[in-house]
Structure 1
Amino acid sequence: MKVPLWVSALAGTLLVQTVCAFASISVPILGPLLMERAGLLPESIGLVSALSSAGICWFLASGGPMLSHFGPIRTLQIGMASMALGMLALASPFGAVGLLGAVAIGFGNGPNTPAGSQILIRSAPPAHRTLIFSIKQAGVPLGGALAGLLSAPFVVAHGVLAALVMLVLVLLACCLIVQPLRATLEEERGPAAHGWARALVQPAEMVRCVGALRAHPTLPMLTALGASYSVMQACLTSFTATFVYARYGLSLTEAGQVVAVMLCASMVGRIALGWLADRMGHALRHLGLQAIASAMSVVLLVIAGGHAAWTLYVCAALVGFTAIGWNGVHIAELARLAPLHLVSSVTSAASLFGFVGSVCGPLVFMAVVAWGGGFEAAFHVMAAQLAFLGAITLLRRPA
């Protein structure tokens, strides 16, 4: 029996998403040993993370012609090869080489959203499109969970160099596994963009990419809401462990378990909310309601999470389900609203703004804490901005 095209497309993009998340999230887990090997302070891993995010933004802003030239599957393969080279650079004892490797890792991680969207929008049945996009996006927390479970024990048993080699081999193996999909999933490629290399260093390409958001009147609002979600998600993933450790007196192990529950719930949430959005229709309205529910769950975590051990885990699961379970619905709606030939450009531009929010959100959070508001006030500010954008979204007429 012939496998439906959308099944192959989903399996391939989910595998790549999971492997890339596994590799990229393993880097901060290996951080202390990597920084020690490079002769840098342990906190320098923050610079590695920042440069990796910059690499993602670089591809999202300027990689559209590259995607058009090579096609989505080949671009994903090039991305994983770039991540593998970045991992090898991190193994260098010279700090500057490792920092360049961080940029390569981010650049290689960048194609997942636009290339995956281009593949799935052509093959996913419309009645189940949001669910399929959400399953693909569930690869991010799945890869993160695998990194937490596997990378740390591996590096303890075999050392940091062996761990980096393991990550390189996993990435290259995934490149080979998805190679057969090129024959079926790249049949409808557009004309090659021969100026793709120059576009990587031309600011005009970034302007063109962002300009794609004018293709539909709802796209700017949808992008703003996605950036607001990204701000909230970045703060949750960055500060939840520290918050519950300091506020509720948990051990570091227990704080890590709380975060693990939150991320596992987000994986379930991405799939369940994708299914629900397909049933409801009007995904923008769904995202607006979810934004308000997310803000309420964050407030609940802050004010009620410490009443008992079970309430903290329940609140963390609720936060993960709502506030980190939005991504698949959001990307599916971006792809639905965009003209078919602009799907990768629109998702790239919207994701670019999302990553800017991921950088700015924690900085604002830290500023609120530093000004004396504490973690509680900072979480309330982040919840308020998300609820505000959600309310504005609900006032718009559905597209």
Structure 2
Amino acid sequence: MPLWVSALVATLIVQTVSSFASTAVPLLGPPLMARAGLPPESIGLVSAITSAGICWCLACGGPMLGHHGPVRTLQIGLACTAAGLFALSQPLGLLGLLGALAIGFGVAPNTPAGSQILIRTAPPRHRTLIFSIKQAGVPLGGALAGLVVAPLMLAQGLPAALGIIIAVTLLTILVVQIFRRRLDKDRGEGQPGWARALLSPAVLASSVRSLRSHPSLPLLTALGASFSVVQSCLMAFTATYVVARHGASLAEAGLIVAVMQGASMLGRVAMGWVADRTGNALRHLAFQAVISALAVGLLAATGNQEPWMLYGCAALVGITAIGWNGVHIAELARVAPPQLVSDVTSAASLFGFVGSVFGPLVFTLLVSWSGSYGLAFAVVAAQQACFGLVALAYLRR
């Protein structure tokens, strides 16, 4: 098997399972919040804390990646995700919030570790497409969660559903072990201080400074942050939105999320192919930001019309608003100096996940204040349209 195929298979498996496990949490939002005696929109707090865990790992986890190598770091991430899900399987409280933090910390290594593996192995001519296929694991895992999690919970109950998801996550650690010797052999010298670095402000500052290594990195980072705000709100609230606004059942809400994620999976691969053909990923992302803002606005404007319109809007949002990540990460890795690929992708993703923290929080406040999911979606879409238009104006100059 060619090295790049091994790299793609390993990273795609981990990305898919990690996405499956993390997407299960907002899909189980209504019963989780009901068990805690909280309103349904409080799932936004769990999503925000999960994003905070991602930010923590991206900000200070570089030495951990350098010490263990990318595959071992991915395995550590899966173990953290399983531990976080176990904490959430207990009655929601402080333990549950710590579990959300652990899930975020476990999801985070997928971006820098995967980029480090693929930039070293992917053929340059098809690099964006290969990165996009890997990133298609995010919506693939989300679609699987949308199809499986709600029926599983209805049949077996909430604790059993979470237990099965934990078992799948732990099994993946063993599956990925077969790739470790081949893909981790160039991990370099160990960094015994990696655990202390998780609480080091200096490590965070060094990671952020890496974004000055290329002129296009600040604009790429800003676009990624804007997309992340939209994506995090869609992931956190779509299921709750269709239950509260359209009266859908939990199973139907899961199916709508599955359609959105399935469309996103196809969209990521298609967008990667288009970006490779056009040769200008940054301009491509700016146009996609404007189009995705229109798609989110259309989803929010959909009333109680025929059900197919809701499914159609979910698919359109999946292709445009969630189908961006592969192109973005591939372009970050392309313009970054080879020795800074993991640092640049971590730092840019950090700013993105800062948006993922504040996006659901602001969305929750807007819904609580106005009682309108439509207004909250409109605000989210407007900020993305502004970023896309500013980027296009900058590129034209």
Q: TM-score, normalised by structure 2?
A: 0.89
Residues 188/48 of structure 1: CA separation in 2 closer, same or farther (3 Å cut): same
Hey, what does 1:278 align to over in structure 2?
276
Aligned mate of 1:81, from 79, 82, 104: 79
Superposition CA RMSD, Å? 2.7
Q: Partner of 2:248 in structure 1?
A: 251
In structure 2, distance between residues paired with 1:32 and 1:321: 26
C-alpha separation between the residues in 2 aligned to 1:56 and 1:65?
15
Residues 146 and 257 in structure 2, CA contact (< 8 A), matched pair in contact too: no
Check whether the contact 1:68–1:189 (CA below 8 A) recurs between aligned residues. Answer: yes
Q: Which amino acid aligns with 2:22?
A: S
Aligned with 2:104 (options 103, 106, 115): 106
Taking CA–CA contacts closer than 8 Å with sequence separation of 6 or more, which of the two structures ends up with the larger relative contact order? Answer: 2
Amino acid at match of 1:82: C
Residue identity opposite 1:198 in structure 2: R
**C-alpha distance in 2, partners of 1:377/1:341?**
44
Which deviates more, 282-291 or 368-377?
368-377
The structure-2 alpha-carbon separation of the partners of 1:229 and 1:32, relative to structure 1 and needing over 3 Å to count, comes to closer
Identity over the aligned pairs, expressed in percent? Answer: 63
On the 8 A contact 2:111/2:345 being kept in 1, the answer is yes
Which region of structure 1 is more displaced relative to structure 2, 272-281 or 149-158? Answer: 149-158
Contact 1:14 1:139 survives alignment (8 Å): yes
Partner of 1:40: 36
- Aligned pairs for 1:120-159 (under 5 A) are 120-159=118-157
Please give the alpha-carbon distance, in whole angstroms, between the structure 1 residues aligned to 2:297 and 2:37: 35
Q: What is the letter of the counterpart of residue 37 of structure 2?
A: L
Q: Which residue of 2 aligns with 1:291?
A: 289
Superposition deviation, residue 46 in structure 1: 4.9
Q: Which residue, out of 262, 265, 268, partners 2:263?
A: 265
1:388 to 379, 386, 389: 386
- 1:301-345 CA distances to partner (integer Å, 9 max, x unpaired)? 344676544333323222211111111111111111111111111
Q: Which deviates the most, 46-55 or 165-174?
A: 46-55
Tell me the distance in 1 between the aligned counterparts of 2:365 and 2:92. Answer: 33
Q: CA deviation at 1:47?
A: 4.4
Which aligned pairs between 1:71-220 and structure 2 lie closer than 5 A? 71-92=69-90, 95-220=93-218
Aligned equivalents of 2:253, 2:151: Cα separation in 1: 18
* Matched-pair contact (CA < 8 Å) for 1:51–1:106: yes
Alignment of 1:20-59 (within 5 A): 20-30=18-28, 40-43=36-39, 46-59=44-57
Counterpart-to-counterpart distance in 1, 2:47 and 2:244: 24
Name the SS of the counterpart of 1:395 in structure 2: helix
Contact in 2 for aligned 1:134/1:328 (Cα 8 Å): yes
Task: Label 1:305 to 1:188 Cα distance change in 2 as closer, same or farther (>3 A).
Answer: farther
The aligned residue for residue 63 of structure 1 is 61
1:226 to 224, 231, 234: 224
Matches within 5 A, 1:264-343: 264-303=262-301, 308-343=306-341
Is 368-377 or 207-216 further displaced after alignment?
Answer: 368-377
CA deviation string 1:190-225 (max 9, x = no partner): 332222111111122111111111111111110000
Is 2:44–2:236's contact at 8 Å kept on the other side of the alignment? Answer: no
Q: 1:341 to 1:84 in 2, by over 3 A?
A: same
Q: Does 1:360 align with 2:358?
A: yes
String of CA shifts for 1:231-263, please: whole Å, max 9, x gaps: 12223333445555666x453355554333222
In 1, Cα distance between equivalents of 2:252 and 2:81: 32
* Contact map agreement 1:92 1:98 (CA 8 A) in 2: yes
Instruction: Return the offset for 1:391.
Output: 2.0
- 8 Å CA contact 1:31–1:42 kept in 2: the answer is no
Give the whole-Å Cα distance in 1 for the aligned partners of 2:376 and 2:84.
34
Aligned CA distance change for structure 1 residues 100 and 371 (closer, same or farther; 3 Å): closer
In structure 2, what residue type is equivalent to 1:297? Answer: A
Query: CA 1:163–1:302 in structure 2 vs 1: closer, same or farther (change >3 Å)?
Result: closer
| Contact persistence 2:146–2:254 (CA under 8 A) | no
Distance change in 2, residues 1:228/1:28 (3 Å): closer
Maintained 8 Å contact 1:258/1:316: yes
Q: Distance in 1 between matches of 2:166 and 2:367?
A: 39
Q: Does the alignment pair 1:350 with 2:348?
A: yes
Distance (Å, rounded) in 1 between the aligned partners of 2:260 and 2:87: 32
Letter matched to residue 282 of structure 1: N
Structure 1 CA distance for aligned equivalents of residues 118 and 306 of structure 2: 43
* C-alpha deviation, 1:273, in angstroms: 0.7
Aligned amino acid, residue 202 of structure 1: S
Contact 1:64 1:345 in 2 (8 A): yes
Gaps of 5+ in 2: none
Seen in structure 2, the aligned counterparts of structure 1 residues 177 and 237 have a Cα distance that, compared at 3 Å, is: closer
Q: Is the 8 A contact 1:32 1:42 kept in 2?
A: no
Decide whether aligned partners of structure 1 residues 245 and 102 sit closer, same or farther in structure 2, where only a CA change above 3 A counts.
Answer: closer
Instruction: Describe the shift of the 1:75–1:244 C-alpha distance in structure 2 as closer, same or farther (beyond 3 A).
Output: closer
